[in-house]
Chains A and B, each alone.
Chain A
């Protein structure tokens, strides 16, 4: 098996986003027609993400069908649903063996799927799931790691929200994406989903998440 490090010319960064933002995200795209071109999620805060890092609490696991496992990972703002099957054998095994709740650290690729009702939902296809509090004496580090992630995700989400809208004249979301104008593309695409604008909603999510660290 070839290693993932060698197969990626420039490794895609793992974006930090809260579940509250990810739950709203419902649009993925590629930047070229090449079949191997990376797939990105358009985040409501105005950025693209090919990969995500989340640190949260694994609250549920379920075998949805033979060998296919679902995990639910909560953060202060909501929950991520992750699915691992035959192509993610290690992750599937972790979900199978875990007895929630556990602190976990997950790296994965954002995807969307359509529900029976026709809704588009976001989900994460895990590259790795690590149980942080699996060993003796690990709990303190796990707690601090989760806090560090909330801190960092709050900061980086605000940084995305602070970015200036790009100076391009397109109206169409796909055109904006192809121009790399992700701030405008997200504003346009998610405008209908939020009262009072997506940026404001995102900032409220960040505030709520960060408040949870104040003890």
Chain B
């Protein structure tokens, strides 16, 4: 999604302001930045989507408009007027509030599921290059499932629905479903980030590991035709939740300072592959990291890892809060 350098509060603030409609582009950047910092302190620092939403909501409240207006994608009138709602992408949809009427162009239908209940005829995800958003098509509005897996559509309008802070879009009676031919859309991966302490390394499955030479799958012993790989499997813990993470060869080398050649040498010297996992664990366990990646099952597959080697700034308000409670 982004390189590590994009993560300063100022960069995030600028990025958020860029998503505002033209008439809100002169909104004070320092104000947005302090909102970013405030929500980071409040625990949203490792949750980009929620952080952005929270900041946008605050600015919208400050301006006395709804989020759609602030972002210039839709009004309260639900795309009335010329009969066509403004077109937005997946990322922008996720930043809208509840019940916003918008249109989506060139979105690909993926992960389709039919009728999960009597009232729902089809669910799935709509994807563009920024990722995916869940959609729901209601039985009351469609006689049969409206979308086909892998096809690209223009949908006008769809209505956003917010449930427990997550946005999905509803396809209803008024939604025109237009299949777009001759266009393919590369669906971006939904990246997530976690920040916390690396509290555990799965020694058996980390370090110098073996993969089946043909399938590339992890194997525990080298009975057949195998090849070496480097990897770390561990747990990032932020004190309130624990996330399994998998870190591939390149990032593992970078993080531990142990290359595959060195690892192979170590293993041969000791006639034991487990020394590699032990040496790696010693270098990475107990430190704090920010890991970005794609969630596959319960694992976050890292595509970026940053050692958090600077403590957060001193928070005067935290001290005041503690002192006032302690009296």
Contacts and interface: CB of A to CB of B under 8 A. Distances in A.
B285 A128 contact: yes
Interface string A134-156: 11000011001101110111111
A154 B323 CA distance: 12
Contacts of A64: none
A109 interface: no
B287 A132 contact: yes
Contacts of A210: 318-319, 322
B309 A156 contact: no
B311 A156 contact: no
A14 B200 CA distance: 10
Contacts of A178: none
A192 B308 CA distance: 41
Interface in B285-327: 285-288, 307-312, 314-315, 318-319, 321-323, 325-327
B39 to A, nearest CB: 14
A161 interface: yes
Contact of B200 (A5, A135, A203): A5
Interface string A169-212: 00000000000000000000000000000011101101100110
A55 B321 CA distance: 23
Contacts, number: 122
B235 A53 contact: no
A16 interface: yes
Nearest to A201: B326
Contact of A148 (B281, B308, B323): B308
Contact of B239 (A11, A15, A135, A140): A15
A127 interface: yes
A105 B284 CA distance: 11
A116 interface: no
A155 B318 contact: yes
Interface residues of B, number: 40
B202 interface: yes
A41 to B, nearest CB: 15
Contacts of A204: 322, 326
A128 B281 CA distance: 10
Contact of B199 (A14, A154, A214): A14
A132 B285 CA distance: 9
A127 B326 CA distance: 33
A37 interface: no
Interface of B: 41, 197, 199-200, 202-205, 233, 235, 237-242, 244, 281-283, 285-288, 307-312, 314-315, 318-319, 321-323, 325-327
The 10 closest A-B pairs by CB, nearest first: A105-B286, A147-B311, A203-B325, A130-B286, A204-B326, A203-B326, A207-B322, A206-B322, A141-B309, A11-B242
29 contacts: A3-B205, A4-B200, A5-B244, A11-B244, A13-B237, A14-B199, A53-B197, A53-B237, A130-B282, A130-B286, A134-B282, A141-B307, A148-B311, A149-B197, A151-B311, A153-B239, A154-B318, A155-B318, A156-B239, A156-B240, A200-B325, A203-B325, A207-B323, A207-B326, A210-B318, A210-B322, A211-B319, A214-B314, A215-B314
Given A132-B287, A145-B288, 4 more contacts: A132-B286, A140-B309, A200-B325, A211-B319
